[in-house]
A and B are shown apart, each in its own frame.
Chain A
Amino acid sequence: MSALPTSGGALPALRRWHAAPYLVTALVIAGVSVPLYAGMTGDSYLVAIMSRILVYALAAVGLNLCLGFGGMISMGHAMYLGLGAYIVPVAADLGVTNGWLQLLLLVLAVGPIAGVVGAISLRTRGIAFIMITLAFAQMFFFLCVSFKRYGGDEGISLQQLSDFGVQGSGKTGLYYALLATLIVVIAASDRLKRSRFGLVLQAARINERRVGALGTNPLPYQLLAYVLSALVCAIAGFFLANLTGFVSPASLAWTVSGELIVMVVLGGLGTVMGPLVGALSFLLVEEGLKALTEHWLVILGPLIVLMALLLRRGLWGLVAGREGGDAR
């Protein structure tokens, strides 16, 4: 850790406020112990719901790269979640069942798609960018709906999950792989936020014209952030398909894009830990409301409105204070 510049440590911004590292540690311990607890009590539902939370946390961390750091309001990131999920049956169809090769395929497929979609979308800003990302996501939604080979609008159960060559690990193994991926990606997003790349990205969010005037064209940075965030979402989708053994266009629905934004904002826009906290609290509230009433969406909708109007810095922002003197 001493190789890192300035104050040292992987998460100096969190060290500033002394409760934050304890919270992070508690979250990691809770994450690790879920399957152990489930193994003791035989409660497999808990692992399923925690896996779902981790998948959406990973996707939200991905979206945060683009939305939080870059200020690019993408209303279409569910598309990458869905594309990552569809890689599993499509690759199996092509005879590729090795998980690592499938991940390679995912990068090779989603990377260029995100590059093209990002390049076209970034020709616009503001309202138009929101609408274009939404429209592109709808395009891929309808593409998935129309491919009868993969179940059309009803989706398809996977005949063959990704094979990572680990015998008998099952859902628990997948859960730990997901947890490890999430920790690595969160640590990477912390590094990225403080790197030159991250600084240019955040500066462009605050004032794009000034960044340009200072001699840096922000566009390549924004595009790269968009593609990176798409890839993280796709990896989350890849896990989602393997965890549920099922893919359907529902994972590309525009409401999923909206929910991902809600998670990022709820947790704390542009903070490192925010997306995880946001996904955790959003999905737990969702589970609670579902247990309460069949018409839980009637309560969730107004809660989202209230959050949008009142919670400007997000839950993590309330707990951890201003991370690294962030401007918002």
Chain B
Amino acid sequence: MSPDFLLTQLLNGIQFGLLLFLMAAGLTLVFGIMSFINLAHGSLYMVGAYVAATTYVHTESFSLAVVASVAGLFVLALVLDRLAFAALQQRDHLQQVLATFGVVIFANEAVRMVFGNAPVYLDAPAALSQPVSILGFNYSAYRLMIIAAGLLVALALHLLIDRTRAGMLIRAGASNRKMVSALGVNIGWLNSFIFALGAALAGLAGAIAGPILSVQAGMGEPVLILTLVVIVIGGIGSVRGAFFGALTVGVIDTLGRGVMPTILNALLDPSIAGAVGPALASAGVYVLMAAVLAFKPDGLFPVRYT
């Protein structure tokens, strides 16, 4: 195993982690502040990817595709919130799970009807299609762009949440939404804004994931479930927790798949390693989650003090 290979795997892990962060940051706020369990967040991601792919086909501009996806999802979320989700927030968790489960089923099949079963391809922009060389080490320029974008969003969210008045309300809402409402803040507007912000980030994630993952119906759910793991590890409602949780999950998942088989091959009989390796690699993230919960049931960065 060469150092270059390890470094590539590590960077891939960070890149995947930051993609998960884009999903988790919005969803953890929706869970934490609105106390709304939204299984359809993966569908927003899928819709984002399709909006980007469709825009790209018509304009051949990747930046326009990203902008269309982010803006489109922001607006779509505001509409969805008005139509149905605001009413759902008043219901109990079981009804939210069922209703958003119904939305997921609908969205996947609707996409299949419109775009067919075959994956849609979205090309990375030409400027980023060649690998870049850093001190003699080659790495995909596009993936570096994802890392940069993820870090930028993390910084922007940090500034929004820790430095602005809206952010103060978000933090207050995460720890006790009833009290915030009682102090005269229009929690309905705050909810709509957070929901739309989360959807826009999911749209961004879908758009930039397009060129490295296949855009197809049902693409949202594997990402959604890893996002849930991130949120549980990080602590519901904590953007900081989502950031560190996402990086941990991304790196462990990627290294588990990329590096673990090699290590196991060296330690075990190849036939056993071949059978156990993939199983351990795919289960690694969940073992981590179980371990975190066994010691810290509220996650690594708990915010809710009720």
A residues adjacent to B (C-beta < 8 A): 67, 73, 75, 120-121, 123-124, 126-128, 130-132, 134-136, 138-139, 142-143, 145-149, 254-255, 258, 261-262, 265, 269, 295, 297-298, 300-305, 307-309
Chain A residues within an 8 Å CB radius of B103: 301, 305
Would you list which residues of chain B between 79 and 115 have a CB under 8 Å from chain A?
84, 87-88, 91, 93-99, 101-110, 112-113
Query: Which B residues, 108 to 162, have Cβ-Cβ distances below 8 Å to chain A?
Result: 108-110, 112-113
Which one of A124, A135, A146, A265 lies within 8 Å of B94 (CB-CB)? A265
B-side binding surface: helix, strand, loop or mixed?
Answer: helix
A123: which B residues are within 8 A, CB to CB?
293-294, 297
How far does the alpha carbon of A126 sit from the alpha carbon of B35 in the complex, in Å?
9
A297 touching B289, Cβ below 8 Å: no
Give min CB distance, B171 to chain A, whole Å: 18
B225: interface (CB < 8 Å):
yes
Q: Which chain B residue shows the least CB distance to A258?
A: B101
Residue of A146, A301, A307, A309 near B109 (CB, 8 A) is A301
Q: Are B101 and A304 in contact (CB under 8 A)?
A: yes
Task: For the complex, give the distance between the alpha carbons of A321 and B51 in Å.
Answer: 48
Q: Chain B residues near A120 (CB, 8 Å)?
A: 290, 293-294
**Residues of chain A lying within 8 A (CB to CB) of residue B95:** 308-309
Report yes or no: A298 in contact with B106, Cβ–Cβ below 8 A. yes
A127 to B221, CA, bound (A): 17
Q: List the 7 closest A-B pairs by CB distance, nearest first.
A: A301-B106, A304-B102, A139-B286, A308-B98, A297-B109, A142-B282, A301-B105
- Indicate if the CB atoms of A130 and B225 lie closer than 8 Å: no
- In the bound complex, do residue B98 and residue A304 qualify as a contact, i.e. CB atoms below 8 Å apart? yes
Asked if B211 is at the interface (CB within 8 A of a chain A CB), the reply is: no
Question: Is A127 a contact partner of B282 (Cβ separation < 8 A)?
Answer: no
Residues of B near any A CB (own CB < 8 A): 31, 35, 37, 84, 87-88, 91, 93-99, 101-110, 112-113, 221, 225, 228-229, 231-232, 236, 275, 278-279, 281-283, 286-287, 289-290, 293-294, 297-299
Taking the closest CB of chain B, its distance from the CB of A274, in whole angstroms, is 14
User: Which residue in chain A gives the minimum CB-CB distance to B107?
Assistant: A301
B91 touches A302 (CB 8 A): no
Q: How far is the CB of B237 from chain A (nearest CB, A)?
A: 10
A301 proximity list for chain B (CB < 8 A): 102-107, 109
Please tell me if the beta carbons of A305 and B102 are within 8 angstroms of each other in the complex.
yes
**A148: which B residues are within 8 A, CB to CB?**
275
Closest-by-CB residue of A relative to B291 is: A120
Which chain A positions have C-beta within 8 A of B294?
Answer: 120, 123
Q: Can you show 22 pairs from A to B with CB atoms below 8 A apart? A: A67-B94, A120-B294, A127-B236, A128-B298, A128-B299, A130-B37, A130-B93, A131-B228, A135-B229, A139-B287, A142-B283, A143-B279, A147-B275, A258-B101, A298-B106, A298-B110, A301-B105, A302-B102, A305-B98, A305-B106, A308-B91, A309-B87
Residues in chain B near residue A131, CB distance under 8 A: 37, 228-229, 231-232
**Residues on B with beta carbons closer than 8 Å to the beta carbon of A298:** 106, 109-110, 113
CA distance A127 to B290 in the complex (A): 16
* Bound Cα distance A298, B113 (Å): 9
CB-CB nearest in chain B for A309: B99
Bound CA span A139–B287, Å = 9
How far does the Cβ of B265 sit from chain A's closest Cβ, in whole Å? 16
A298 to B229, CA, bound (A): 28
Contact A295 B113 (CB under 8 A): yes
Contact B98 A307 (CB under 8 A): yes
- Considering the complex, give the chain B residue whose CB is closest to the CB of A143: B279
Task: Give, as a whole number of angstroms, the nearest-CB distance from B68 to chain A.
Answer: 25
Q: Which of B99, B107, B236, B282 contacts A128 (CB 8 A)?
A: B236
A126: B residues at CB distance < 8 A: 93
Alpha-carbon separation in the docked complex, A134 to B95 (Å): 16
Inter-chain contacts of A73 with B (CB < 8 A) = 93-94, 97
Known: A135-B225, A298-B110. A261 touches B105 (CB 8 A): no
Once the chains bind, are B99 and A308 in contact (CB under 8 Å)?
A: yes
In the complex formed, the residue of B with least CB distance to A148 is B275
Q: Which residue of A lies closest to B286 (CB)?
A: A139
CB of A292, distance to nearest CB on chain B (Å): 13
Q: A295-B109, A304-B105 are in contact. Are A132 and B282 (CB under 8 A)?
A: no
Query: Residue on B with the closest CB to A312?
Result: B95
In addition to A120-B290, A136-B290, A304-B99, 10 A-B residue pairs with Cβ atoms within 8 Å of each other are: A124-B293, A128-B297, A254-B225, A258-B101, A297-B108, A298-B113, A305-B98, A308-B95, A308-B98, A309-B99
